[in-house]
Each structure stands twice: as C-alpha cells, then as structure tokens.
C-alpha cells in the first residue's frame, strides 16, 4: 500500500480512500488484521489522530471492525467489499466518460476507444 497525498484536501479523506483501495485490492484480505493505528500512522507519515479518524470512518462504512483490545480487522462481509469495488468502478467509469465528453467524444465513440485500445 502506498500513501500519496496532496495537501489540498483533508488528509483523513485521502487516508480513507487509500485504505479502501487496499481492502478492495485485498492487500488486506477479508477478515485479516490491520496494523495498529500507530503503525499505520507511521507508514503514512501522518498524525495518529488523523489515522484514527480515517479508521473510524471506515468502521462506520462497515469495511473494518474493532475487536475489543485485539485491534482492527477487515470485514468478513464479501458482499460489502464487492459493493464497494463496484462503487469505485462506477466512479472511475463516470470520470472517464466525462473526460472523453470534454474532448468531444460521444458515449459510443468512447466505448469504441475503450474496446479497441483499452488495456494496451
């Protein structure tokens, strides 16, 4: 997992996004234990309070859970992880379509591009 930030938007939101990606990419697999708040904060070179805030947000989303005194774990809810992945995919596709629209391509042309040069 790599932490790349800009200073222009709230750090905790960027942390939420990075950790969310790590979970859907299964860098932290379903049900696995996460490093401690302090460890994660040091990895990201951020304040432990900011990391805590990001983890609380992920917990509210249901993507991680706290086991009393034992630390934090990735959810075992496969469906939720799949849904999160779908949501992220939707955002990326919409962004792509908007960008293509902005340079004058219709949806059909955009799809054609995606099929012919996609992945290359």
Partner 1 sequence: MLLECKNVTKKFDKKVVLDNINLKIEKGKIYGLLGKNGAGKSTLIKLINDLLTIDEGEILFNGKPIGIFSKSHISYLPERTYLDKDMKVESVIKYFEEFYEDFNTKKAYKLLKDLDLDKDKKISKMSKGMQEKLQLILVMSREAELYILDEPLGGVDPATRDYILDTILSNFKEGSSVIISTHLISDIERILDNVIFIDKGKIILTEDADKLREKEKSSIDEIFRRSFKC
Least distance (Å) between residue 54 CB and partner 1:
10
Instruction: Name the 3-class secondary structure at 87.
Output: helix
Q: For residues 19-42, b (16+ Cβ closer than 10 Å) or e, as one string? A: bbebbbeeebeeeeebeebeebbe
Q: Which of 3-11, 17-25, 78-86, 106-114 is the region at the interface with partner 1 (rule: CB under 8 A)? A: 3-11
- 15 vs 99: CA distance, rounded Å: 25
Binding mask 17-46 for partner 1 (x = CB under 8 A): ---------------------x--xx--xx
Least distance (Å) between residue 60 CB and partner 1:
16
- The owner of tokens 């960027």 is 14
In the set 25, 32, 36, 47, which binds partner 1 (CB under 8 A)? 47
CB 23 within 8 A of CB 63: yes
Residues that bind partner 1 (CB under 8 A): 5-13, 38, 41-42, 45-50, 53
């Amino acid at each position: 997992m790599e932490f790349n930030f800009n200073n222009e938007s709230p750090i905790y939101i960027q942390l939420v996004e990075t950790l969310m990606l790590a979970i859907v990419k299964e860098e932290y697999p379903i049900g696995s234990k996460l490093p401690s708040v302090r460890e994660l904060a040091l990895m990201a070179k951020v304040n432990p309070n900011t990391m805590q805030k990001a983890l609380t947000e992920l917990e509210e989303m249901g993507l991680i859970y706290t086991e009393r005194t034992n630390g934090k774990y990735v959810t075992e809810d496969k469906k939720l992880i799949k849904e999160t992945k779908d949501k992220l995919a939707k955002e990326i596709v919409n962004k792509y379509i908007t960008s293509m629209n902005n340079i004058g391509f219709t949806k059909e042309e955009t799809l054609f591009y995606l099929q012919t040069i996609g992945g290359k």
